[in-house]
Chain A
Amino acid sequence: MKQKETGSMRQNRLIANTIVHTILTIMSIVWLFPVVWIILESFNAKPDSGSSSFFPQHGFSLESYRVLLTDNRQFMFTRWFGNTFLVALGTCLLSTFYVLCVSYTLSRLRFKGRKGLMNVGLILNMFPGFMSMIAVYSILNTVNLVEKLTPLIFVYSAGQALNYHIAKGFFDTIPRAVDEAARIDGATRWQIFTKITIPMSKPILIYTVLTSFMAPWLDFIFAKFMLGTKYEKYTIATGLWTMMQKEYIRTWYGRFTAGAVLVSIPISLLFIFMQKYYVEGMSSGAVKG
């Protein structure tokens, strides 16, 4: 009797496993399909935005990449790459500094108005981010800083300074006893921050550096609004978006796919590298609010 039941259970499990694996395979194909497709298209010898089939008909070549990287007459992809890299580097330095300062202060130091500041931050985060775009534009316009790259760094960093919650959550978990011991030994709060807390916070440091480095690669709205039609100042996202617009898509489609692949590689690698921190941040947000 017992023997028989295990047998039917095994059979059931076999069926269940087969179904699950089939579902997973189909889903993986659906999910990975666009990824594979864009890679194939970027090697397409004759890319055609009006093509009605998914796969290259005329064989493969590196032509799209070659033209994209060498032809700088209308759209200058290499320059955009450089622009984005510079903005990303600046943003990453400045906003890491901001985020560390804000999160450490709010987490470890106690002072009047602390809760108030946190509430203000919360409220600011609830306005749609780009609502203030026009205003930022007018402000920068009065000091003649539009259509330039440096202001992007300041604006991105100011935005990142409000995203301190994950870093603060991290600092909250460092035992206070560490600080108190150092204070008894006569360390000032600044020394505690630089000599003790920072060296203990490598994971959150990496997380902050990487997220703020990635932001300028992904932002489209603000960069587009600030840079207008000044192509030589574009960042990657604005540039690639422009290539896909109706007036350009016919000629630029192949190069768009090549560019998309080139951008996606570093961004994906960074993301996969920091996946662990990312999940920690998101799920700690889930549990702790």
Chain B
Amino acid sequence: MGKKIKNAKFPKINLLKEAWKNGDLFTKLAFFILGIGNIARKQIIKGLIYLAAEVGFIFYMIMFGVTALSRFDDLGDVETGRVLDEARGVYVQTQGENSLKLLLGAIFACIVIAIFVVMWFKSIQSSYNAQKLQEQKKCVNNFRQDLADYFDSKLHFTMLFLPVLSIMIFNILPLIYMILLAFTNCDQNHQPPGHLFDWVGFKNFGQMFNMNGKIGRTFFPVLGWTFIWAIFATFLNYILGMLLAIIINRKGTRLKPMWRTFFVITIAIPQFVSLLLMRHMLDMHGPLNGTLESLGLIHDPLPFWQDKTFARVTVIVINLWIGMPYTMLVTTGILQNIPSDLYEAARVDGAKASTIFWKITLPYMLFVTTPKLITDFVGNINNFNVIFFLTNGAPLTNDYYQAGYTDLLVTWLYSLTVNSFDYNRAAVIGIFVFIISATLSLLTYRNTASYKDEEGFS
């Protein structure tokens, strides 16, 4: 990886050196006035576009950029407050600065500078190329030919432009912003507008991992439960879903499509509908408790959402209801691919059904679907829907900071954002979840055949 970057970087600097050494007046000028080299070689429109970009960039930097960047280190120092207006003898509200906006402006300015540097490089490259072509008495592309290039040899640029732009605005910019927030004190006491926040370095991380503080004492149990949940949710769903697929697909079972449809219907229903319904159904005074009571099976309602262990088991069980049909759907096809002579050989040897499952089916399936298993595991660590709609973290406890016994890291992140406005802590958790997911995914993804040998198929 590091090697690749090195190799990719050096030619660029070399090209700049070369262009500076061999370039004529216009190419050298193009280092400072973008596009002038192109204009001199009759690529007028192209040159003007570069020039316009430079003018726009300088205008932006003077008007906003420089100020935005200079606020990056202090993130604002004028707080919203009340000042005595002596002439009128009343207190007047003063408009303070908004640290969130200042931070955003600074990141935006960085991105603009980065884009400009790329454009600057491209323009030098382009005018140097034009110069070389002219020296060799070859004809220089006119604007129409340039444009046609963007639909042929440079098609990748044209096609990626809009998607990448929108990913930059709606994914990358916000992510950088959140990662930076993890190093500030932007919590409920420093909420803009009205209050300012400032850089605090790694303090939030320290707080999160400190077992003596309340936040640390929340973090580790929540982390532990997240893993327990992910393990149960992934492996129970996997094994039971596969068993379901096996018994539907076995030779003797009648009406296979009907059984399959029954289970698929439950996937088809929007999760928020089925989960909200389940929550209501299992409520302390809900229909399930009511029915059990009227049947005389229980005397007191079962505390599905009120008791720690009860709630944890319930979410895992309900997750089975959600997840088993998925596994069934996916594994059905793979199960049919298991070579049938394996089964026949086992049967000739007199193996029982359970032995066949543990010794043939499961190992085969594990071999084929390990990547899916890991993706599922990561998905379950991030499984927001099930917990949020079922319990929203309940039963809540005072031992935890803004969390309950069924809260996963991601749902805790959500409550920290929405309920207590501790953006900095939410960001720390987000980074931590990322580290977990990334480690797990990279371990498997890098080892799959499709990553190493992408061209293998075509």
Residues of chain A whose beta carbon lies under 8 Å from any beta carbon of chain B: 13, 16-17, 20-21, 23-24, 27-28, 30-32, 34-35, 37-38, 49-54, 97-98, 101-102, 104-105, 109, 111-114, 117, 122-124, 126-136, 138-139, 142, 154-155, 157-159, 161-162, 172-176, 188-190, 193, 217-218, 220-221, 225, 237, 240-241, 244, 249, 253, 256, 260, 263-264, 267-269, 271-272, 275, 278-279, 282-283, 285-289
Contact = CB atoms under 8 A, between A and B. Distances in A.
A271 B252 contact: no
Contact of A189 (B152, B163, B181, B291): B152
Which 7 A/B pairs are nearest by Cβ-Cβ distance?
A52-B290, A289-B448, A135-B174, A132-B174, A268-B268, A131-B430, A158-B170
A252 to B, nearest CB: 12
Contacts of A131: 175, 178, 413, 426-427, 430, 433
B152 A190 contact: yes
B441 interface: yes
Contact of B281 (A37, A112, A132, A190): A37
B454 A172 contact: yes
Contacts of B114: none
A121 to B, nearest CB: 8
Given A98-B163, A101-B162, A17 B252 contact: yes
B430 to A, nearest CB: 4
Contacts of A97: 162
A174 B458 contact: yes
29 contacts: A17-B252, A20-B252, A21-B253, A24-B248, A27-B244, A54-B291, A98-B163, A105-B160, A124-B167, A124-B172, A128-B382, A130-B384, A132-B177, A134-B181, A136-B170, A138-B177, A142-B101, A158-B166, A173-B458, A175-B458, A249-B280, A253-B280, A260-B273, A260-B277, A268-B269, A278-B329, A288-B448, A288-B450, A289-B444
Nearest to B152: A188
Nearest to A183: B152
Contact of B160 (A34, A49, A102, A288): A102
Interface of B: 8, 100-101, 104, 148, 151-153, 155-160, 162-164, 166-167, 169-175, 177-178, 181, 244, 247-248, 250, 252-254, 259, 262-274, 276-281, 285-291, 293-294, 321, 325-326, 329-330, 332-334, 368-369, 371-372, 375, 378, 382, 384-385, 388-389, 410, 413-414, 417-418, 423, 426-427, 430, 433-434, 437-438, 441, 444-445, 448-451, 454, 457-458
B178 A289 contact: no
A219 B140 CA distance: 52
Contact of A122 (B152, B247, B265, B445): B445
- The residue among A112, A122, A272, A288 with the most chain B CB atoms within 10 A of its own CB is A288
Given A27-B244, A52-B289, A132-B171, 8 more contacts: A131-B178, A162-B171, A218-B270, A240-B276, A267-B269, A279-B329, A286-B372, A289-B450
Nearest to B446: A289
B434 to A, nearest CB: 5
A221 B382 CA distance: 13
Given A24-B259, A132-B171, A289-B451, A49 B280 contact: yes
B320 to A, nearest CB: 10
Given A32-B262, A54-B291, A162 B269 contact: no
A101 B274 CA distance: 35
B199 to A, nearest CB: 17
A286 B265 CA distance: 22
A17 B253 contact: yes
A286 B369 contact: yes
Given A131-B413, A244-B280, A221 B167 contact: no
Contacts, number: 280
Contacts of A27: 244
B272 A286 contact: no
Nearest to B418: A225
Contact of B156 (A111, A133, A136, A138): A111
Contact of B273 (A38, A49, A101): A38
Given A112-B8, A128-B413, A161-B163, A16 B252 contact: yes
A117 to B, nearest CB: 8
A190 B371 contact: no
A135 B173 contact: yes
- The residue among A52, A104, A131, A241 with the most chain B CB atoms within 10 A of its own CB is A131
Nearest to B281: A34
A263 B413 contact: no
A108 B48 CA distance: 33
A144 B354 CA distance: 62
B457 A35 contact: no
Contacts of A50: 285
B287 A52 contact: yes
B458 A286 contact: no
Contacts of B155: 105, 109, 188-190, 193
Given A24-B248, A27-B244, A158 B171 contact: yes
B67 to A, nearest CB: 15
Given A49-B280, A161-B163, A135 B274 contact: no
A135 B177 contact: yes
A139 B101 CA distance: 8
A34 B36 CA distance: 71
B438 A123 contact: yes
A17 B253 CA distance: 7
Contacts of B152: 188-190
A31 B240 CA distance: 14
Contact of B375 (A175, A283, A285): A285
